[in-house]
Amino acid sequence: MVFSGPLLIPFFLQIRPHKQQKYKTLFGSFLSQSRLKNPHFSSSTDLVEVTAMKGARAGWRAAVALLTLASLSCLLSAPVASAAAGAVVAGVAAHRNTERIAGSAGDVLEDNPVGRLKVFIYDLPSKYNKRIVTKDPRCLNHMFAAEIFMHRFLLSSAVRTLNPEEADWFYTPVYTTCDLTPAGLPLPFKSPRMMRSAIQFISNKWPFWNKTDGADHFFVVPHDFGACFHYQEEKAIERGILPMLRRATLVQTFGQKNHVCLKEGSIIIPPYAPPQKMQAHLTPPDTPRSIFVYFRGLFYDNGNDPEGGYYARGARASLWENFKNNPLFDISTDHPATYYEDMQRAVFCLCPLGWAPWSPRLVEAVVFGCIPVIIADDIVLPFADAIPWEEIGVFVDEEDVPKLDSILTSIPIEDILRKQRLLANPSMKKAMLFPQPAQPRDAFHQILNGLARKLPHMQSVYLQPGEKHLSWTAGPVGDLKPW
C-alpha cells in the first residue's frame, strides 16, 4: 500500500497515544524515502521525534503540520508531472509540467502589442535621465529600476514612432527614483519638483501636453506609493498624487484598492528584480522543496518606527512573535548568500507588506516557483487583468497572521501541486521580469498590452479651446520650487 500525503495524516491522527511509539519507525521509513533535506532536522527519524514532542506539548496541530511538510517534500521532490499523473485539468496536456488558464494567463499574457499602438518618446535633457544614472549606477540594480529599463526598451521598440502626430501615447523619460542615500535607499523628496520640471519642459517645447493636459501621456512612477512620492503611507496620503499627473496614466508598482495614491486606470507592474542575477542562482528542476515556509527580511523597522506597530501595520511583527520558534517556518532577518537557492527549496514564500504593500519577493517567488503567500489587505497585484493571482498564490488577511500555520497546512496537496504547475508556466515568469534585451511576453510587453487595451482614447481626453483641468500652482509649497 502506498500512502499519499492526504491519506497519511489522518492515518497518523487515528493512532492512540500509547501506540504512537510503535509507528515511529513506520514514519521514519516513509520520511527517509521522501528525500527530506530540511536543515532543521538531521534525519527523518529526528523529524518524527520532534513531531511526537510537539504533539505532546502543543497538541496535534503542530504534529499535523510537520507531517504535512514531510508529505509535501515527498510529493514535490519528484517531477511534478509524475506527481500529478492521472489528474484531469481542462486544457492541460498530461505529459507537461505546466498549466495555463485559457482566457487569462493563457491568452492575454501572450498578446503581442506591436501594431496595436505607437509611442512617441520626448527627447529630454540628460539631467532628467541618463546623467543621473551615470552619476549613480546603483540605480540600475534597485527595485525601482523599471523606470530606467522601460526607457531603454522603448528607444529600440517596434512601437516607437518618431512622428508625434501619429502617436497614441506620449512618454516622458524622467528617472525620479534615482536619488539614493549612501546606504542605497531612495529619497523621494526631490521627485515632485523633478517631475514638474520635466512636464513644464515638454509643455513649453511641444504642443501635445497642452492638447490633453496629459491624458494621453504615461509616466513610470515606481516609488513606494507611486506618484504620492513618499515612502511612509501617512505622509504619502497627506501629499496625494502630484496634481500635474492626475490626468495621465501612471505605470506604478504601488497598488491598493480605494487608496488616494492609486488613481483609476493605472497600470500596476512588478518591481524590478535583476534577471541575470536570478538566472545565475537557478537550481536543478528536481531540487526537493524541503522548506515549508520561507521568509527573509525585517520584522521591525526601529529606525523609522521606534514604537512599533506602524511598520507593515504590525503584520511582520506578528509573524515573528507567533512563528519564530516554529520548525515549519524558516524565517529570519538574515539574508544569506543562498537566498535565491533557498526560495527554490521552499513550498511557500511569504510576501508580507512592509512600508508599502508590494516588494520584490513577489517577483522572486513566481520566478522560482515558490507559492507566494500574500499578506497585504486590498493589494492590487501586477497585471491583475492577465495573471491569475488567486490561482497561483495564497491570500491571508493581516489580522489572520497568527493563524498562518493552520491556514497553510490545511491547503490540499492537490491544490498546491496545481499552483506549482501554473507557476511553472514560462509566460507567468516572463511577465514578472524586465530582461535585457527584452523578450516577447515580458513585463515591458505587458505594459504595452495594458496601454493598448486603453485605446482608442475617448473624445473627452482632448480639451476644447480654453478648457483646462490642471493648475500649475496646486500642491505643497515645497513642490513649487525650481528643480
Residues facing residue 395 across a β-bridge: 374
The CA–CA distances, whole Å, from 395 to 228, 259, 406 equal 26, 19, 14
Q: Is the pLDDT score of 77 beyond 90? A: no
What is the C-alpha to C-alpha distance for residues 389 and 391, in angstroms, rounded to an integer? Answer: 5
User: pLDDT digit string (tens) for 121-131?
Assistant: 999 999 999 99
Residue carrying C-alpha cell 546606504: 183
Q: Is the pLDDT score of 223 beyond 50? A: yes
Mean pLDDT over 312-334 rounds to 96
Q: For residue 312, which amino acid is it? A: A
Range name among 25-34, 112-121, 141-150 with the lowest pLDDT average: 25-34
**pLDDT range class, residue 183, cuts 50, 70, 90:** confident
What's the pLDDT at 98?
A: 60
User: pLDDT digit string (tens) for 377-408?
Assistant: 999 999 988 888 999 999 999 999 999 999 99
What's the pLDDT at 222?
A: 95
Q: Is 303 helix (H, G, I), strand (E, B) or coil?
A: coil
The CA–CA distances, whole Å, from 160 to 122, 154, 453 equal 11, 6, 17
Residue carrying C-alpha cell 517567488: 365
Q: Is the pLDDT score of 333 beyond 90? A: yes
What's the pLDDT at 129?
A: 97
Residue 95 DSSP class: T
User: pLDDT digit string (tens) for 191-205?
Assistant: 999 999 999 999 999
**pLDDT range class, residue 309, cuts 50, 70, 90:** confident
Q: Is the pLDDT score of 34 beyond 60? A: no
What's the pLDDT at 23?
A: 37
CB 253 within 8 A of CB 358: yes
CB 44 within 8 A of CB 32: yes
Q: Is the pLDDT score of 37 beyond 50? A: no
The pTM for the full model equals 0.81
Of the candidates 214, 254, 256, 251, the one whose C-alpha atom is nearest the C-alpha of residue 448 is 251
Q: Which residues contact 481 (CB under 8 A, 6 or more apart)?
A: 193
What is the C-alpha to C-alpha distance for residues 417 and 77, in angstroms, rounded to an integer? Answer: 11
Phi-psi region of 372 (alpha: psi -120 to 50; beta: other; left: phi over 0): beta
The better pLDDT of the pair 50, 380 is held by 380
Highest mean pLDDT among 81-85, 103-107, 367-371: 367-371
Q: Is 400 helix (H, G, I), strand (E, B) or coil?
A: helix
What's the pLDDT at 29?
A: 37
The CA–CA distances, whole Å, from 89 to 96, 101, 110, 454 equal 11, 10, 21, 33
Mean pLDDT over 176-187 rounds to 86
Q: What is the dihedral of CA 144, 148, 152, 158, to 10 degrees?
A: 60
What is the C-alpha to C-alpha distance for residues 64 and 410, in angstroms, rounded to an integer? Answer: 9
User: pLDDT digit string (tens) for 250-306?
Assistant: 999 999 999 999 999 999 999 999 999 999 999 998 899 999 999 999 999 988 887
The better pLDDT of the pair 62, 426 is held by 426
User: Average pLDDT of the chain?
Assistant: 82
* Percent of the chain whose pLDDT exceeds 70: 78
